[in-house]
Amino acid sequence: MSRFRPIDRKTAYLLPPSVEDWLPEDHLARFIVEAMEKLDLNDLARAYAGRGSAAYHPEVMLGLPVYGYATGVFSSRKIERATPDQVGGRLYDSVAFRTLAAGFHPDHDTLATFRRRFLDELAGVFVQVLELAREMKLLKVGTVCLDGTKIHANASRHSALSHGHLSKLEVQLKAEVQDLLEQAEKADQSDLPDGLNLPEELKRRQDRLAAMEQAKTKIEARARERFEQKQAEYQKKLAKRKARPMKKMAHKLKTQTGRKLYALRKQTVEPVFGIIKSVMGFRQFLLRGLKKVTGEWALACLAWNLKRMAVLRQKSVQWA
């Protein structure tokens, strides 16, 4: 008698199985599907002109990136591969994406375009999710805590030059230009190195110097504008308050009530950043520009809220 169960991969199903049958009842994908069905996505739907071939429903196009951000799959290409296949060998993830896609297979370009196109509408969806949490008795409005964190931008340190680095390059290029000019003066007296074209080399460096000078001017203008803006905001705050905000906060934190309120950050806002960055793996923006980054952060927070709501609902069912 064999000690193992028989392997048979060729026997066909009598009836075609449902994709949902492969997912546990308390799976996050099921909860996101339910949430998408309850949200009012008419603002997104009205944005489609109705011409050409039928588009994918906003429920599908929003549910896929929300689940992706909640589970650490941020790239539209990876989500595209997950709808017909699997991600990282995790079968449930593959089935979950296919469930959210409702059997469709949107390509990565369609997914990326939807994400960029409807970033502004995510603010309204974010509020709807909070209202849904309140209806489900999962949201309790109380003390509001503020905190901040750092997320890597979608930019290269090597291509983004600071004012200080530009100044160093400027000194280096000026020295090279001076050296080339000295070689030009000696050109009649001695042979130049093979392959060295003095006019071209001089022009190339002088063009770089001109471009760097323009870049420095822009950086200095932005810095000056930012400084003046900060100064105006600071002076406006000082006009309203006699005491400095930092001194007022320092005094507040010395009181017993202030210390208790400050301690709430450890159980409210700080864990959220930790989970979004460490558990969900969101440590770098995929989009560029302040407006797009703000929308992408709203998408990440939306995914966190739905993920948290799914956990809280499961706990409430267990306690009931």
Q: How would DSSP label each residue in 56-119?
A: PPHHHHHHHHHHHHHHT---HHHHHHHTTS-BTTBHHHHHHHHHHTTT----HHHHHHHHHHTT
Amino acid 65 reads: P
Examine the pLDDT at 276 and tell me if it is beyond 60: yes
- What span, in angstroms and rounded, lies between the C-alpha atoms of 143 and 141? 7
Q: Which domain holds residue 26?
A: 13-145+273-320
Same domain for 20 and 139, yes or no, is yes
Same domain for 184 and 243, yes or no, is yes
Same domain for 22 and 79, yes or no, is yes
Amino acid 290 reads: L
Residue closest to 314 by CA, chosen among 91, 37, 25, 66: 25
What number is the average pLDDT over the span 32-42?
Answer: 93
pLDDT in tens, 226-254: 888 888 777 776 665 556 777 777 887 78
Examine the pLDDT at 39 and tell me if it is beyond 80: yes
Same domain for 134 and 278, yes or no, is yes
pLDDT in tens, 53-97: 888 999 999 999 999 999 999 999 888 887 765 454 444 457 888
How many structural domains does the chain have?
A: 2
Same domain for 94 and 182, yes or no, is no
Instruction: Report yes or no on 8 lying in a domain.
Output: no
Same domain for 286 and 140, yes or no, is yes
CA 9 to chain centre: 41
CB-side neighbour CA atoms (13 Å) of 297: 15
Quote the radius of gyration of the chain (alpha carbons, Å): 29
Examine the pLDDT at 130 and tell me if it is beyond 50: yes
User: By three-state DSSP, how is residue 215 classified?
Assistant: helix
Same domain for 186 and 82, yes or no, is no
Residue 52 in tokens = 């050409």
Same domain for 311 and 293, yes or no, is yes
Out of 267, 284, 301, pick the residue that ends a domain: 267
Instruction: Report yes or no on 285 lying in a domain.
Output: yes
Instruction: Report yes or no on 79 lying in a domain.
Output: yes
- What span, in angstroms and rounded, lies between the C-alpha atoms of 267 and 278? 16
Same domain for 283 and 197, yes or no, is no
Query: What pLDDT was estimated at residue 109?
Result: 93
What number is the average pLDDT over the span 95-117?
Answer: 89
Instruction: Report yes or no on 235 lying in a domain.
Output: yes
Instruction: Report yes or no on 6 lying in a domain.
Output: no
Out of 267, 295, 310, pick the residue that ends a domain: 267
Query: What pLDDT was estimated at residue 293?
Result: 92
Residue closest to 73 by CA, chosen among 100, 43, 41, 49: 100
Same domain for 57 and 117, yes or no, is yes
Same domain for 301 and 204, yes or no, is no
pLDDT in tens, 151-201: 998 877 666 666 566 677 777 777 776 776 666 555 555 555 555 566 677
Out of 252, 267, 282, pick the residue that ends a domain: 267
